[in-house]
Every structure is written in C-alpha cells, then in structure tokens.
Homo-oligomer: A and B are copies of this chain.
Amino acid sequence: MLPQKIEQFKPGSSFRAYLKVFDLQKREKRNGDSYLSLNLGDGNSKVGAKVWDRVDTFISILKVGGIYLFKGDVGVYNGKLDLKINDVEQAKEGIDGFDKEAFVEKPKFDLEKIFIEVENLIKTRVNNIHLKKISFKYLKEKGELFKRHYGAIKVHHAYVGGLMEHTLSMMKLASFLAVHYKLDESLLITGTLLHDCGKLQEIISVPAPGITLEGGLLGHIVSGTIYVKQLISEIDGFPKDLELRLLHLIVSHHGSKEFGSPEVPKTKEAIVLNLIDMIDSKLRIFTEAIEKSSGNDQLFSDYIPFLQRKILLK
C-alpha cells in the first residue's frame, strides 16, 4: 500500500502515511497505565491519534516536529477522525515518495513583497534618524524570523507570516492616524513595527507552534522591552526621552493591566497603538470565523471566547 494523504483515510480501514508530529502528550488511564495522545499533519490537514501499546518505545522514537511513516487504524471519535497507531518508521527522503518539502507550511501570501512594503513604510514615513536606525537594525537582525513568524499560537494570525501581516496592516493605520491627529508619526510607526517583537522569543512556530520557557515566564511584553532596550544600547546617541517613549509603547500596548500591560497607555501614541492593535486583531478574528463558517446556514457563529460573543456570519 502506498502512503496516503489524510483526506484519503476511511473510518474502519487501516492506513499508512507520512505524518509530522505537531503535539505529543503522555497521559494516564484511570488504571495507571500510560498512553500517548498525538496531533499529526501531512502539510495540508491535521488529525488526532493515540498510541495505546508499547508507549515507551514510541516515546523514545517520536519527537515533536519529526516526520515518520505511521501505520494503524482509522477510527472516529467525537465526530472527528482519530487514529490508532500500531507502528512507526523513520521517514527517508525519496523512499516511497517521501518529500520533506511537502511538510513545510506554505505562506498564504508573498512574504518578500510584504517585507518590502514594511521597509518602504519605514523609509518614507519614519523621519527621526534614531527611530529609522532602530527600525532597520531590527529588520536586519531579526528580519528572516519576523518574515515567517506566526502572529499567535492560535486565535488569530496563527500561520506563517501572520506576525508580519498583522504588523504591516497596523503600520498603515498608524501612518494614517498619525497624520489625522498630528501625532509623532516616526515614533508611532516604529513602535508599531516593534510592539510584538517579543513574540519572536515567546512562541515558536517550528517544529510546531508552542510557547517557550521565556514566553511562559516573562511574556512577550517584557521580552520585547528587554530586546528593544538592548537594540537602543547599541545605537549611539539615542535620546533618553525618546527611549522611554518608545519602550512605553511596547510596555503599554495591551491597553490595561488586566490584559497584561504593567503600565497603561499614557501618551497619545500609546493609546493609538493599543486601539489599532485591537482593531486589526478583532477584524482578523471576524474574518477567520466567517471563512470557517462558509457554506453553513447559521446566522450567528458559535461563541468565540476571545471576543466573548457570537458574531453575525452573513
């Protein structure tokens, strides 16, 4: 049997497929025995799986982010496919049609083009020399990571390039609002570019999306602030007052203590940064919920925890 794709799996049949491990949890049955709960994917879709026997053997083989040739049975659990794994082998390039490239998540849009838009916005709208310097320094140091990073583990912009897409969209709003309200455009755009830079430390998207030790202990607000402080210390003559205003944008961008900002926005630029972050993330959640519901007859969505409401789908 040739390796299959998930969309070819049939409940009640057995399967054989190259699958990547996205998540792996050792859990306990009530009788004290262990089993493994897995989340597997083939580049296009994902599927849950369980290992009931020889748990220790499987644990010694499987790594999160690894790709393997799995064999087992296709079941259904709670209305979704759920695999029972019987066997596993290392995947070998070229054997049985295995192509590692097929497992790299494809971006939804042209990452390079968006990156250039980001650069152009800085070039044309950030006039302050120190802020221009720090912006390009950031893109130089972290550009490749920034380009491909997830915007979040889930909720919204949770895909390759999501962080950059979200950032660019906000930078355009920042530019417009800075002119409309006569704000410090250089500061607001730079702060927008950097506001989520701590996410590069907080979450990882490869081998699979997840939170890091630093992310869990410091959070992206503090990680980002430390990082930007470090960048500033490497730029000669960065004014102290400007440093504090820029760091303040990062520190306060969640808008309130309840949402994790240790200080609330106290400048006009900080207020605006917080609100355009809310606009861009909320609208993205609307878009993702509406896309997901397409073809469905519901007027209103199911309850969306992040928005604490049901939304209109039509």
Contact = CB atoms under 8 A, between A and B. Distances in A.
Interface stretch (A19-27, A95-103, A111-119, A134-142): A19-27
A310 B11 CA distance: 35
A261 interface: yes
Interface string A123-140: 000000000000000000
Contact of A275 (B25, B181, B278, B308): B278
B35 A79 contact: yes
A93 interface: no
Q: Which of A6, A47, A219, A272 has the most CB atoms of chain B within a 10 A radius of its CB?
A: A219
Interface string A246-280: 01100100000111111110111001100100110
A25 B259 contact: no
B25 A296 contact: yes
A1 interface: no
A264 B216 CA distance: 9
Copies of this protein in the complex? 6
Interface string A144-181: 00000000000000000000000001001100110011
A8 to B, nearest CB: 8
Contacts of A297: 24, 26
A217 B263 contact: yes
A242 B268 CA distance: 35
B263 A222 contact: yes
A263 B45 contact: no
A213 interface: yes
A218 B241 contact: no
Contacts of A308: 264
A43 interface: no
A47 B30 contact: yes
B37 A218 contact: no
A180 B268 CA distance: 22
A79 B27 contact: yes
A35 B298 CA distance: 15
B261 A262 contact: yes
26 contacts: A7-B32, A7-B33, A11-B52, A25-B298, A29-B80, A30-B80, A34-B295, A37-B79, A50-B79, A173-B180, A177-B279, A217-B245, A218-B244, A218-B248, A222-B247, A222-B263, A226-B229, A257-B257, A257-B258, A260-B263, A266-B309, A266-B310, A266-B311, A271-B282, A275-B275, A275-B278
Interface of A: 6-7, 9, 11, 24-27, 29-35, 37, 45-48, 50, 52, 76, 79-81, 169, 172-173, 176-177, 180-181, 211-214, 216-219, 221-222, 225-226, 229, 241, 244-245, 247-248, 251, 257-264, 266-268, 271-272, 275, 278-279, 282-283, 286, 295-300, 308-312
